[in-house]
Every structure is written in structure tokens, then in C-alpha cells.
């Protein structure tokens, strides 16, 4: 019984290490191909549009309402000890440090990370990836590099937008609906939030962008087992990327702040 | 006048390949003659695709040598392998067209990758290759708008784009109606005559095999058990081979 348990744990651990090694291998190959000519600017822009521009609406909605609800919750708590004036800075800090990067990344994982896994997975099972090899075109260069670059570049951009609309959302609720003094609200925010809070949030966002694009591409690239396999790869990409983002968020935060 | 020695463009020597402990190729030996159509027949799941993938370096043998024009491609690095691959064109079973690109862009892809031709010249070659496989006015369409037979034609046009010396066909007639299948067979023969390329076809379609082949080889139990001209193969006394070409369920070949 005990031996069996150890066996199961051991096997799971070995599989984890194996998989982690393969992700790292894909990462290193991606970095190596990234700097090899010719650069596929067209493919990179296309992915930036897909990851970035097409995620705008969902990121704006998420950011605005997160900021708004934060203001609402903070107000009810802070009112108990007459600290309503700190609502603005609380919203701004939470958005720039945590919720902006994390929620944006989770939304983009659901939207674009899943699509990457599904697209590459379909290309794998319909032999399009093999076809690239036979035409002497490296699929990592062709498919993975543009997606990873787009992920790393666009997530900070989306995050800064989420931060901005989140603060606006908080302001609308705090000042507009709950009648906190506008001048104090903004003054406190400027006084407490520092440039570093915003900057570190953006660094996090870039890391999350790397995670979601790399995991999405990895799961897609090594898909096996037909349509069912593509479905499985897509689900796993979203789950693994989301969990990895949340776990790494802790460690990044611990290292930064 | 003495008959010229046939020259072999691809040689597979004692190839062994296993997947997860299961032996798929078990000492496979085959030499493929240049400028001819060689068809490899065998059961589904019997390692035909694995064989084909070895000839273009998509898979590496566990043991053995794959010689293309005398060079062992299983020992080449990526860059050298890519140079060898430029001599190949491959038509995949499902055509494997890039579905994010139009038909024209698909055919143009190898040209854009490996030549410095101007857009105008590429366009012209694409038109010509598509005409060669019997298609016109499709360049602007997306692969999803095409029928199975048309996809294969486009796949062939793409495989022909760089005028390869060797063309590989992965079950070209599988999943097509008999008329379309016959049209594809003719296209293979025409293409071979037109380009004088070496064609390697894997198939389990017996009728089509005898229509197109210069040489037939039978893959069974991970080995080539018989190679010869179509008429020799037909009259072979090997039981497994006879069972296969007559399409019988009873015989030495077990149904998996």
C-alpha cells in the first residue's frame, strides 16, 4: 500500500520533470530561432493583433468592473474607520500590482492561449507541421516564435490598459456613486502609488505572456490523437497556463516587492 | 548494347524502428531506383508511413542507414538535412495544406522560403504548377473550400513547386471516389513522365498500385518481403503477398 503510493507519486513526479524539460527545450529552441534571420515580421504582427488588439474588449471590461467592485468593497470596509479617502489608492495599488497583470493574463490565456493550442494541435494532427519540416521550413521558427514574441510584448500593453480602466472604474464608483471627495481621492492615489508598482506589474505581465504563449504552443505542438487530442491539448493548455501564472505570481511578487 | 545499371537514389539499409517498445520496422532493406515509380504496399498500420517518414528524415532510425544520393541523412544536422529536403516534395494523405493560407499562397510557400524570385515570377510558377495538376482559377480560394481530390491536387502542386528530384506520396488515393482516384493515379504517372522525378508511393490500393508502378515492394512484419516488377509480384508464390493482392481475410497475415 505504502509502496504503491510512493510509486504513484514517483511516477507523477518523473512525468512532471519530463514535461518540464520538454517545455524548457521548446523555450530554448524558440529563443535560438528568434534571433535567426529572416525575421518574420508579418507573422509576428499578425499574432500581436490576435493576442493584443483582439483581446482589448474583454480586457477593458474585466479591468473596469474589477476596479469598480474593488472601490465598492473597499469603501464599505474603510468607512468603518473613516478611511474612505484611501479607496482610490487601494484600488490603484491592487490593480497595478496584482489584478491588472493577473486578470489580464488569465483572460488572454482563455482567449489566445487556448487558440494557440487548438491551432497548432490541429496543424499537428493534420500533418501540416510535418509538411513544414518536409519543405525545409522550421515550424518552431514559423509557428512558435511569432506567438511567444506576441505574448511577451502584448501582455504588458494590455495590462497597462487594464490598470488604467480599472482606476477609472474605481473613480466612477468611489467619486461618482459613493461621493468621496474627488481631490482627496486622486491626491492620495498619487501620493501612495509609485512608478515601481506599475513597472513591476508590467514585468509580471511580460512573464505571464511568456508562460501562456509557451504553454499554449507546447501543448499544441506535441498534440497526438486526432480531434480528441486537440480538445485535450486545449483544455490542458488553459489549465496549466492559468495555474502556472498564479503560482509564479507569488514568487515574482515575493522577489519584487 | 549492355543495359545500363539502374541507379538507386534512395537506399534504406537494415532499418530498425520501435515505438514504445513495439517494433515497427525490423531490418527493412530497400533500394529505390531513380526516375521510376516505386509503390510500397502493405497493411494499414504496418509501418508504411513510418518507412516514408524515414526517407525524408522526419523520423530517425534506431539502427540502420538511410542513404539519399549516397548520403546517410540520419546523421545530418538540421541545416544539412534541410538542404537534402529541398530535393524532396511530399504529398500527404490529407494533403496537409496550410489552412490559414489561400491555395496560391500554399503553392508559393516553398518558393518564398527557398528562392529569391520576385512576386511576379512566383505568381507565374504557381499558375503553371496548378495548371499542371489540372486546376485553374483556384489560387484565391481557401483549402476548406476545396473537395478532397482538389486538395490532393493542390498538395501535389505545392510538392512540385521546387521541381524536386524525389516525390513522396502518402496513400494518394485513400478516401477518394474511384473516378477521382483514377485521375490522381494518372496525374502521378503524368507527373513522373513530365518531370522524370523519382516517385515513391505508399498504398494499400492494389488496383491503383498495378496501374502506376514500375516497381512494387511489399512491406510485411517490418521488412520488405518482396520487390519486383508488377507482373512478377502478381505471379509471386509468397502466400502473404498473394493474400494481400487478392484481398482475403484468411491467410498468413493476421488482422489486427
> What's the rounded mean pLDDT across residues A110-125?
95
Contacts of A139 in chain B (CB under 8 A): none
The answer to whether residue A21 is domain-embedded is: no
> What's the rounded mean pLDDT across residues A126-141?
92
Best mutation target among B52, B58, B166 (most A Cβ atoms within 10 Å) is B58
The answer to whether residue A25 is domain-embedded is: no
CB-based contact, A5 to chain B, within 8 Å: no
Are residues B58 and B19 both part of a single domain? yes
What value, to the nearest 5°, has the Cα angle with vertex B149 and ends B144 and B154? 65
Task: List, in order, residues 6 or more apart from B135 with CB less than 8 Å away.
Answer: B150, B153, B154, B157
- Of B163, B179, B207, the last residue of a domain is B163
Are residues B20 and B105 both part of a single domain? no
The answer to whether residue B140 is domain-embedded is: yes
Domain span at A153: 42-256
> What's the rounded mean pLDDT across residues A194-211?
94
Check A133 against B85: CB less than 8 A apart: yes
**Residue B155: closest CA among chain A residues belongs to which residue?**
A131
| pLDDT tens-place string over residues B105-162 | 999 999 998 888 899 999 999 999 998 888 888 989 999 999 888 999 999 999 999 9
Best mutation target among A131, A140, A141, A220 (most B Cβ atoms within 10 Å) is A131
Residue B85's pLDDT is 92
Number of domains, chain B: 2
Are residues B177 and B210 both part of a single domain? yes
Q: Record the cell numbers describing residue A25, joined without a space.
A: 527545450
Are residues B77 and B187 both part of a single domain? yes
Full DSSP string of A39-59: P-HHHHHHHHHHHTGGGHHHH
The answer to whether residue B18 is domain-embedded is: yes
> What's the rounded mean pLDDT across residues B185-196?
90
Residue B3's pLDDT is 53
Check A128 against B97: CB less than 8 A apart: yes
Are residues B186 and B129 both part of a single domain? no
Per the DSSP assignment, residues forming a β-bridge with B67 are B11, B72
| pLDDT tens-place string over residues A63-92 | 999 999 999 999 999 989 888 888 999 999
Check A131 against B78: CB less than 8 A apart: no
Are residues B176 and B255 both part of a single domain? yes
The answer to whether residue A169 is domain-embedded is: yes
Give me the residue from A131, A137, A138 closest to B92, CB to CB.
Answer: A131
Whether B241 shows a pLDDT value over 90: the answer reads no
How far apart CA A151 and CA A112 sit, in angstroms, is 9
Are residues B152 and B169 both part of a single domain? no
Are residues B69 and B169 both part of a single domain? yes
Best mutation target among B96, B161, B172, B200 (most A Cβ atoms within 10 Å) is B96
Best mutation target among A135, A138, A226 (most B Cβ atoms within 10 Å) is A135
The answer to whether residue B64 is domain-embedded is: yes
Whether B2 shows a pLDDT value over 60: the answer reads no
CB-based contact, A131 to chain B, within 8 Å: yes
The answer to whether residue A16 is domain-embedded is: no
Domain span at B26: 1-87+164-256
Q: Regarding predicted confidence, which is higher, B247 or A252?
A: A252
> What's the rounded mean pLDDT across residues B45-62?
90
Residue B189's pLDDT is 93
Under 8 Å between Cβ of A170 and A68: yes
| CA A33, chain centre distance (Å) | 23
Q: Render the burial of A228-237: b for 16+ CB within 10 Å, e for the rest.
A: ebbebbbebb
Residue B4's pLDDT is 61
Residue B1's pLDDT is 46
Residue B243's pLDDT is 87
The answer to whether residue B138 is domain-embedded is: yes
CB-based contact, A49 to chain B, within 8 Å: no
Are residues B174 and B249 both part of a single domain? yes
Domain CATH for B174: 3.40.50.300
Are residues B170 and B254 both part of a single domain? yes
CB-based contact, A40 to chain B, within 8 Å: no
Residue B44's pLDDT is 82
The answer to whether residue B93 is domain-embedded is: no
The answer to whether residue A117 is domain-embedded is: yes
The answer to whether residue B92 is domain-embedded is: no
Check B113 against A135: CB less than 8 A apart: yes
> What's the rounded mean pLDDT across residues B16-23?
89
Check B58 against A136: CB less than 8 A apart: no
The answer to whether residue A188 is domain-embedded is: yes
Are residues B2 and B76 both part of a single domain? yes
| CA A61, chain centre distance (Å) | 16
pLDDT band at B5 (very low <50, low <70, confident <90, very high): low
Number of domains, chain A: 1
- Of B119, B135, B163, the last residue of a domain is B163
| pLDDT tens-place string over residues A217-227 | 999 999 999 89
The answer to whether residue A32 is domain-embedded is: no
- Chain B residues within 8 Å of chain A (Cβ atoms): 53, 56, 58, 78, 82-83, 85-86, 88-90, 92-94, 96-99, 109-110, 113-114, 158, 168
Residue B256's pLDDT is 61
The answer to whether residue A65 is domain-embedded is: yes
Amino acid at each position: 500500500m505504502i509502496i504503491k503510493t510512493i510509486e504513484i507519486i514517483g511516477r507523477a513526479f518523473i512525468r512532471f520533470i519530463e514535461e518540464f524539460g520538454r517545455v524548457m527545450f521548446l523555450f530554448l529552441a524558440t529563443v535560438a530561432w528568434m534571433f535567426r534571420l529572416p525575421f518574420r515580421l508579418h507573422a509576428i504582427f499578425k499574432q500581436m493583433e490576435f493576442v493584443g488588439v483582439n483581446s482589448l474588449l474583454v480586457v477593458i471590461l474585466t479591468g473596469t468592473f474589477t476596479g469598480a467592485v474593488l472601490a465598492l468593497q473597499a469603501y464599505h470596509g474603510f468607512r468603518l474607520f473613516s478611511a474612505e479617502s484611501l479607496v482610490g489608492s487601494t484600488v490603484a495599488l491592487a490593480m497595478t500590482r496584482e489584478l491588472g497583470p493577473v486578470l489580464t493574463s488569465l483572460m488572454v490565456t482563455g482567449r489566445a492561449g487556448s487558440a494557440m493550442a487548438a491551432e497548432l494541435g490541429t496543424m499537428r494532427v493534420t500533418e501540416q507541421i510535418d509538411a513544414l519540416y518536409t519543405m525545409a521550413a522550421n515550424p518552431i521558427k514559423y509557428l512558435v516564435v511569432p506567438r511567444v514574441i506576441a505574448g511577451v510584448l502584448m501582455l504588458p500593453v494590455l495590462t497597462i490598459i487594464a490598470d488604467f480602466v480599472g482606476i477609472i472604474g474605481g473613480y466612477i464608483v468611489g467619486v461618482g456613486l459613493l461621493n468621496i471627495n474627488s481631490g482627496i481621492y486622486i491626491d492620495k492615489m498619487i501620493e501612495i502609488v509609485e512608478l515601481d508598482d506599475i513597472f513591476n506589474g508590467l514585468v509580471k505581465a511580460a512573464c505571464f505572456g511568456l508562460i501562456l504563449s509557451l504553454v499554449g504552443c507546447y501543448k499544441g505542438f506535441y498534440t497526438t490523437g486526432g480531434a480528441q487530442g486537440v480538445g485535450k491539448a486545449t483544455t490542458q493548455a488553459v489549465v496549466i497556463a492559468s495555474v502556472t501564472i498564479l503560482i509564479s505570481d507569488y514568487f515574482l511578487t515575493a522577489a519584487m516587492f | 548494347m549492355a543495359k545500363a545499371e539502374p541507379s538507386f537514389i534512395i537506399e534504406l539499409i537494415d532499418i530498425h524502428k520501435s515505438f514504445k517498445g513495439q517494433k515497427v520496422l525490423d531490418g527493412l532493406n530497400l533500394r529505390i531506383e531513380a526516375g521510376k515509380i516505386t509503390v510500397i504496399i502493405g497493411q494499414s498500420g504496418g509501418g508504411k508511413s513510418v518507412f516514408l517518414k524515414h526517407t525524408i528524415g522526419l523520423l530517425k532510425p534506431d539502427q540502420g542507414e538511410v542513404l539519399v544520393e549516397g548520403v546517410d541523412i540520419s546523421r545530418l544536422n538540421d541545416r544539412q538535412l534541410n538542404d537534402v529536403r529541398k530535393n524532396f516534395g511530399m504529398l500527404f494523405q490529407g494533403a496537409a495544406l496550410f489552412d490559414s493560407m489561400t491555395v496560391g499562397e500554399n503553392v508559393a510557400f516553398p518558393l518564398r522560403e527557398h528562392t529569391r524570385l520576385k512576386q511576379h515570377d512566383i505568381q507565374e510558377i504557381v499558375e503553371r504548377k496548378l495548371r499542371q495538376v489540372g486546376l485553374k482559377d483556384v489560387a484565391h480560394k481557401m483549402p476548406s473550400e476545396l473537395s478532397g481530390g482538389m486538395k490532393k491536387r493542390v498538395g501535389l502542386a505545392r510538392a512540385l513547386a521546387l521541381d524536386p528530384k524525389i516525390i513522396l506520396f502518402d496513400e494518394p488515393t485513400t478516401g477518394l471516389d474511384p473516378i477521382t482516384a483514377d485521375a490522381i493515379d494518372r496525374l502521378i504517372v503524368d507527373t513522373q513522365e513530365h518531370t522524370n522525378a523519382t516517385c515513391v508511393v505508399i498504398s494499400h490500393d492494389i488496383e491503383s498500385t498495378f496501374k502506376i508502378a514500375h516497381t512494387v515492394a511489399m512491406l510485411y512484419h517490418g521488412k520488405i518481403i518482396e520487390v519486383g516488377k508488377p507482373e512478377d509480384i502478381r505471379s509471386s508464390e509468397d502466400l502473404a503477398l498473394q493474400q494481400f493482392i487478392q484481398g482475403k481475410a484468411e491467410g498468413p497475415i493476421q488482422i489486427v
